Amino acid sequence: MSTETDIVAYVQESEFDALLTESEEKVVVVDFTATWCGPCRLISPLMEQLAQEYKGRVKVVKVDVDSNKPIFKKFGLRSIPAVLLFKDGVLTETIVGVSPYEQFSEAVEKLLQVV
């Protein structure tokens, strides 16, 4: 049985731009979250599932808004959970609030199909 190891890593603001431009995967999913945020905890397993399902094709990361406020504000976000999808370093979609897994996976599928 697998341990409680999260496969979705946290990234800091200093790593963010490089992640978007240098990631092997063309699609990057960023989950803006906080430890005190209840709804964020509902999204977390969905991000883990997304990372597993699209392993090697999509990079899924988390950003803790408490320690990375400037990047949170940079994208004009005001509430969490907020999931941002990037393709080739460009923001293509923002999903705010608790959403079903299908909404995230469909957004990813759409980006993977665009060449």
Residues marked active site are found at 37, 40
Phi (first) and psi of residue 95, to 5 degrees = -120, 110
| Sign of the C-alpha dihedral computed for residues 69, 14, 10 and 18 taken in this order | positive
| pTM, full prediction | 0.91
* Domain boundaries of the chain, sorted by first residue: 9-113
Q: Which fold has domain 9-113?
A: Glutaredoxin (3.40.30)
Contacts 24+ apart (CB under 8 A), 70-74: 70/13, 71/13, 71/16, 72/32
Phi (first) and psi of residue 57, to 5 degrees = -115, -30
Are residues 38 and 30 in contact, defined by beta-carbon separation less than 8 angstroms?
Answer: no
**pLDDT tens-digit map of 31-67:** 999 999 999 999 999 999 999 999 999 999 999 999 9
